[in-house]
Amino acid sequence: MTTSMDNNHQPSQGEAPHCSFPFRAVGLFTGDMRRCGEWVKRQSLVIQLPDCVFRGVAQVMFVNNPLSGLLIVVGLFLQNPWWALNGLLGTLVSTVSAFMLGQNREAISVGFYGYNGTLVGILIAVFSAKGSWYWWLFLPNVFMSMLCPVVSSALSSVASKWDLPIFTLPFNILVCLHIAATGAAHPYFPEVYLSIPQVTASCCQLFLSVPVGVGQVYGCDSPWTGGLILLALLLCSPTLCFHAMLGSAAGMFAGLALAASHRDIYTGLWGYNSALSCIAIGGVFYVITWQTHLLALICALFCAYMTSLALPACTWPFCLSTLIFLLISSEIPAISLFQKLKDTFAYLLLFFSSNFTSSGIICLLLLI
């Protein structure tokens, strides 16, 4: 009887690998691509660097997936190849500087020391009055990107006392410093005050302002670039993609409610900070529940109000509003969990190595 039972059970064991193969194949490219990361760590630095760079590009959106970073880079080249090239250079220089300064190798490998360099490189090119292919612009780009891990490490030493992340504060500090030091009258690196083109008011433009708002995180106003960034988020985590769209839409509606310029709304300037805040609160730092979904929406609206204060460019409203919401105390377990974590980097590593694989995506969709 035992032999018969074993024989009857054998077909189901043989079928299981065939049934699970598609899920395993999807899992190789979704989530944090853990197997790829483990393989890269055993390779030489020449192979590790591209993985670190693409993960760093994606980490701007709290994504730890090199394929997502590649999709975002494609979107950047679609917007402006010169901006994309400066962004890649900034990421590379920032990552190499972190290696040379002896920063945590695990943090470098997941892109924590690259994403500020990405934004520094792109925004220095965006604000340059010299236009595209002004090669001397590489000099301030390299210098400021080289300072990113220095400022990041210094701020982390201070922020860790309150168990807080530093977000894009190094990028904000360095880019504002560069703009203040050069200005519009600088003979070599003049800055330009961007003029926003006239936009015809329509429901279509209002709809497109959601992906455009996501794209503006990287300084891009193309809806195609924003769509590719959303696809990159979806590849890593549907939760992050959902909160990015929710936050951008919240910023857009807040801009309409505050009677902001329609040009600013349609070009995504009211959406990108709110999108980042919504992702951070609803998809990264708190356990996913209906309370944290609501909290993320409130944070996105609060961030939009900070945008109305005419704060400097970059992501100051996102940093300030999200840090405030991370400092709150609550008896709700999903919210109080973050307060119990003593090491922010350890928490981020835990998050990015969690269940954002094929099986984890199904569980997250059920939770949503």
Q: What pLDDT score was predicted for residue 197?
A: 59
pLDDT in tens, 112-141: 999 999 999 999 999 998 888 999 999 999
Does the pLDDT at position 357 exceed 60?
no
Asked: is 33-182 a CATH 1.10.150.450 domain? The reply is no
Q: What pLDDT score was predicted for residue 201?
A: 61
pTM check: above 0.85: no
Domain with CATH 1.10.3430.10 in the chain: 33-182, 203-366
In the chain, what percentage of residues exceed pLDDT 70? 80
Does the pLDDT at position 260 exceed 80?
yes
Does the pLDDT at position 189 exceed 50?
yes
Q: Which of 94-103, 158-167, 307-316 has the lowest mean pLDDT?
A: 307-316
pLDDT in tens, 298-308: 999 999 998 88
Q: What pLDDT score was predicted for residue 336?
A: 62
Return the CATH number of the domain spanning residue range 203-366.
1.10.3430.10
Of 336 and 150, the structure prediction assigns the larger pLDDT to 150
pLDDT category at 193 given cuts 50, 70, 90 is low
Tell me what the mean pLDDT of segment 44-63 comes to.
93
Three-state secondary structure along the chain? CHHHHHHHHHHHHHHHHHHHHHHHHHHHHCCCCHHHHHHHHCCCHHHHHHHHHHHHHHHCCCCCCHHHHHHHHHHHHHHCHHHHHHHHHHHHHHHHHHHHCCCCHHHHHCCCCCHHHHHHHHHHHHCECCCCCCHHHHHHHHHHHHHHHHHHHHHHHHHHHHCCCCCCHHHHHHHHHHHHHHCCCCCCCCECCCCCCCCCCCHHHHHHHHHHHHHHHHCCCCHHHHHHHHHHHHHHCHHHHHHHHHHHHHHHHHHHHCCCCHHHHHCCCCCHHHHHHHHHHHHHCCCCCHHHHHHHHHHHHHHHHHHCCCCCCCCHHHHHHHHHHHCCCCCCHHHHHHHHCCCHHHHHHHHHCCCCCHHHHHHHHHHC
